[in-house]
Amino acid sequence: MKGKVVSINISDKKGVRKKPAKEAFIQTNYGIEGDAHASSQWHRQVSLLALESIQKMQAMGLKVSPGDFAENITTEGIDLPKLPVGTKITIGKNIEVEVSQIGKKCHTRCEIYNQAGDCIMPKEGIFVKVLKGGKIKEGDNITVISKH
C-alpha cells in the first residue's frame, strides 16, 4: 500500500490547529522537532490523518484544511484507520514508524466539533512511534511495509 505526504503540520502548543511546514525533522523515539506533541515519554509521538478524511468534513460544508485537526502529517492514498497497531510504515527515504494507536478519546470538544457537530481525528486519525528518524518533506512517498 502506497501513499504520499500532502502536508506536514507543527504547533508549539497542544490543543490548537497546526501550521503547515514544507519540511521538518523527525527524531527517533521522539517525534517532529518543534512540535508540542513530540515526546520520548509516550507512544503518540506523531499523528497522521488522511486528506480523504478532511475532504469528508469539507463535503459537510466546513472550511478546513490540513493541520486543522492538529495532525502532524496529512496523507493521501492510504486508508489509515484500517492499519492495525504494530504496522510498520516508511516515509520518504529513511524514516520508519510503527502504528501505536488508532483514533483517540476527545477529552474536550475541539473547535471543529463545535462547528460541525463531529470531528474525524478521534475515529480516523492514527498515531505512530518513530523507529528511525530523518527529514520529511511534502510529496514524500509513504509505504506500508508490514501489517500485524
DSSP state of 29: T
**Banded model confidence at residue 118, pLDDT cuts 50, 70, 90:** low
Go through the domains of the chain in sequence order and give each one's CATH number. 2-146 (2.40.33.20)
- Cell 506500508 -> residue: 144
Q: Kind of pairing, strands 2-10 and 141-146?
A: antiparallel
- Residue 74 DSSP SS3: strand
Mean pLDDT of the chain: 88
pLDDT of residue 79: 94
If one compares 107 and 91, the residue with the highest pLDDT of the two is 91
Q: Which residues pair with 3 in a beta bridge?
A: 142
> Phi first, then psi: what are they for 19, rounded to 5°?
-100, 140
